[in-house]
Amino acid sequence: MIECLKSVKPVMINDKQCFELYGFDILFDAKLKPWLLEINSSPSMTANTREDHKLKVGVCDDVYTILNIEGILTGEEEQIGGFDLIYKGQKINLPPNSVFSSFLGCYNNRKDQLKKLAKTTAIRLAVEFKENKNKPNQNNKNLRYNPY
C-alpha cells in the first residue's frame, strides 16, 4: 500500500485545504494471503447497509481525527482512531514481540483509542489552562471562552 501511494506521489494534489481518500480493494484467498485487486481514488462513501454505514461513518470520524483540525495530537501517537501509524517519513516496523506480521486484520480498538486520546487531551488542556490562568499576563486577566 505504501509503495503504491509513493508511486503516485508526484501526481497527488498537495493542498493543505483538502485531502484525498483512497480505497484499497483486497481479496484474501483460502490461505489468507492478501491480493490487491484495485485502488480507488475518491471511493464511494454511500452506504447500502447498516454495517456499511457504521464502517464509513467510522472512517470519516477517524479521518477528521487524523487531520487534527482541533490541534489535539502531539505527533507522537502510534495509533489514531482505527488506524495504526505505518509510515512516517519511512516505514514503521512492528514491535519485535508482535505476534502479527502485518497491521492488516489486527484488532481494531478505535473506540478505546479515541477515549484514551480524549482523556489525555482533556488532562493536558486542563493543565495548560491552569498554568496560563496563574501567569500574570494582561491578556489572561479576563480569559473567557468565546466561540466566535
Predicted confidence (pLDDT) per residue in 4-49, tens digit: 888 888 888 777 777 778 888 889 899 888 899 999 887 888 889 9
Q: Where are the alpha helices (DSSP H) in 104-144?
A: 110-134
> pTM for the complete prediction?
0.52
Question: What DSSP designation does 118 have?
Answer: H
Question: Are 4 and 71 contained in the same domain?
Answer: no
Which positions ≥6 away from 136 have C-beta within 8 Å?
none
For 31-95, give the secondary structure using H, E and C: CCCEEEEEEEECCCCCCCCHHHHHHHHHHHHHHHHHHCCCCCCCCCCCEECCEECCECCCECCCC
Closest CA to 28 of 104, 100, 79: 104
Residues of the chain with pLDDT > 90: what percent?
5
Number of domains in the chain: 2
SS3 14: coil
Question: Are 55 and 124 contained in the same domain?
Answer: yes
Residue type, 128: E
Question: Are 58 and 114 contained in the same domain?
Answer: yes
Question: Which set of grid coordinates corresponds to residue 113?
Answer: 483509542
Q: Is 143 contained in some domain?
A: no
Greatest mean pLDDT range, 66-75, 110-119, 123-132: 123-132
Question: Are 2 and 52 contained in the same domain?
Answer: no
- Evaluated on CA atoms 70, 76, 82, 86, the torsion sign reads positive
Which positions ≥6 away from 77 have C-beta within 8 Å?
85, 117
Q: Is 144 contained in some domain?
A: no
Question: Which set of grid coordinates corresponds to residue 29?
Answer: 484467498
- The band of 104, judged by pLDDT with boundaries at 50, 70 and 90, is low
Question: Are 13 and 57 contained in the same domain?
Answer: no
Domain extent at residue 36: 1-43
Q: Is 39 contained in some domain?
A: yes
Q: Is 110 contained in some domain?
A: yes
For 70-79, write each residue's pLDDT tens digit.
788 887 777 7
Question: Are 50 and 69 contained in the same domain?
Answer: yes
